Structure 1
């Protein structure tokens, strides 16, 4: 009986890292040399000796703005994406508690951030509320802080949407600016309500928020770079007027507390449900023992 042929293995090769490095350097230096001659119109000798100046001044220095805007977009998108994962997942705060104690406190930082970025893929815990008093208080503080952040960001975003659509929202008195932060708070809070009722598309709804803030950041950066005076910022008007600022802070403090209040009420209800379930589990062995004794 003939033995079956062994499966073919891919050919082995040695990675020529040194050659790859040299190739990259030659490509960059050659492109810079051609850039100096063709774009800057320099003599070949001068173009050769100005290669390092072009790299440091034109490429590195000239890309500082693009790099700063890009880093800002990455930070804003990452933070808002994490926030949308938290508000769209009903077990998010309990999962955060487990991640902190299981990974962060064990100094497994890379694993902690890796799991944090995939919070919606973590195993479902047995409760929606944190199990430690300190974790519960910190979770509520975190929720209040994030709510304040979204009151600020989405107030500006809503004002920008209206402005870009040609709808002017004049701020004449403190009462006229209350509607904007109220609607701004309603957007992320509605995603949390979807999580409460286990709506299957809550994450899809929440995912538009990072894109909205990305557009706001990009438009604001473009207006700043070009020195445009057409774009009117909502928060700038608020902070320049003392009366507006006081009214905004008072109402913002109340609006940011609304998600915290409903979160606490939801946790309180789930605590009662969990206690009832535990009592039923504890009563079953007693019933079995009484039946056996009879």
Structure 2
């Protein structure tokens, strides 16, 4: 009898936890279909104003479409570059041995303890100087690369790829070297295809982090046409009379890319986060 009661309590707890977890998403979708006054009242019934809210959003001077494109560009480019740079660094820390290897890796891990707030002023001063340096203008303030470049080699991603590389079969590397394949070929033609689950997990984390990034784009992107979605959505809520229906519509649309990325790669994400290697 006690086992049955315990199981019932477990299911009750899991049910409550599921409702608590899903309710914000449910409320967000419901709110996007209602007018601002209905959202303020806390209605939980779907309305018929989603397309009206969408029309208001696209007709506003917030440049939501441009912000969506900016966020997509930054997130995609950041993810692609981070997969190459950070995975190459993590791969090198395991495959190539040297006396200073562990010391350098320890310094990279120590950098995770520095809060980003402490780096904002130095980064701002550094990137502001690039405006007058000719070819380096491409990574100066108020450019997408100013946001991208600081996210392509993070301590977390390097650590993540290093841990997964430790379980990579070294026999494949030795066999490839015997067959005459170069080091770059081993990395791109053997290591990367073999670690699909690892890369899938890293893609999900990197894309979602870049897509939701707020603080550094707020500092680096100073022109309205260069702003990303988090900046535009934040500006919507700071008006004197916020249109909550329009805001929730904007949030729903902004959630779609990250939701698609996660659901398309959820199996590989779980496998990659547990450190498994699949061919």
Q: TM-score range by the shorter chain?
A: under 0.3
Answer 1 or 2: higher relative contact order, Cα 8 Å, separation at least 6.
Answer: 2
Normalising by structure 1, what TM-score? 0.27
TM-score (norm 2): 0.28
Give the structure with higher Rg (CA): 1
